[in-house]
Amino acid sequence: MSALSTFLLRRRGGAGWHWTDVLAYVWLGIGLVLMFGPVLWLVVSSFKTPANLAEFPPTFRPLDAQVARVQGYDQPLPLFRVMLDDGSEKVLAQVRRVGIMAQMVDPQNPGAVIRVPIDKRIPVREIKLATENYAEPLQQFDFLRYFQNSVFVTIMATLITLVVNSMAAFALSKYEFKGRTAVLGIILATLMVPLSVIVVPLYLVVNSLNLFDTLWGVILPTVATPTGVFLLRQYMLTIPDELIDAARMDKASEWQIYWRIVLPLAAPALAVLAIFSVMWRWNDFLWPLIVLSRKEHYTLQVGLNAFSGELNVQWHYVLAMTVLSIVPVALIFLFLQRYITAGIANTGLK
């Protein structure tokens, strides 16, 4: 902890403060708020009740009305701080509201009903975590099934993406043939083609292969990515050709060279591509929405759309399930982030 505090609190001026120290801390503080403030607000809002979410102006803390059981009433009654005519303040329980007047009783003496204007009362609220925002979707809306489908699609698509893209990158980086540069140019040119342009041909191909409304119909059309091919090719160019020539002299097959030599040496770039692929597949919404029609095949992102009704959006469920959906990607990025800098930095060495 001392080493961390020394690193975070070090100053250019040594014992004193330099103006660049102040500017650096202000800039880093603004960046911290802009990057993690929305995430923190999302997590806190996922524990709010629908009434708390609809409040204006919004509140940061998850607050809910405090209730009390009053003798003579079956249901708990909400509590309010009421300003009485004599200037004193008292906590009363509201029985019902009629127009601009509220009928209230004293929880200690519920016999007499007191009529109070609604602008003379302030609700008594307490911090309460609405954990049912997480429990009810998992139980009633089969979100565990959506989660399992997303995990399956992400893992299988990532594995196939690594194999297909690494094979293409190996051929484009270590084989000399006519038109190699043109092939690479055509692959990179596909980056300029949006999904909305090719969605109809992709749909026809998937339908003709009887992959419609299957998870494999979501996985297979997106496994070959130009970004992955370019990233791996640039990294494999840094692998010495002499190493591959030596393996060929030792009678190693091309498959053995690819599997036992090139892939282990390209592990940092493969890790970077794996992270990108996980984020792409996990957050993909448009293509699974087109391909999948039955709810039992929905991925998590498509399942979130089920909470958007024609006239109403259940925001408390959407926020809670959104938090769950970002946890796997955040964990993967947390444990593999050191490969991102090393992999991307080494792709441009040659």
Q: Which residue has the tokens 């060279």?
A: 257
Which range (44-53, 110-119, 171-180, 209-218) has the least confidence? 110-119
pTM of the model as a whole: 0.74
pLDDT digits (tens, 9 = 90+) for 198-224: 888 989 999 999 999 899 999 998 888
The predicted model gives 338-344 an average pLDDT of 63
Lowest mean pLDDT among 58-67, 246-255, 330-339: 330-339
CB 300 within 8 A of CB 147: yes
Of the pLDDT bands very low, low, confident and very high (cuts 50, 70, 90), residue 143 is confident
Query: What is the C-alpha separation between 22 and 292, in angstroms, rounded?
Result: 53
pLDDT in tens, 91-124: 888 888 878 888 888 887 777 777 888 777 888 8
CA distance 44 to 33: 15
For the cut 80, the answer to whether the pLDDT of residue 188 exceeds it is yes
For residue 154, name the pLDDT band (cuts at 50, 70, 90).
very high
Non-local CB neighbours of 164 within 8 Å, separated by 6+ positions: 223, 224
Q: Which residue has the tokens 């699974």?
A: 288
Residue 72 Rama label (left phi>0; alpha psi -120 to 50; beta):
left
Tell me how many degrees the CA angle 134-138-143 measures, rounded to the nearest 5: 120
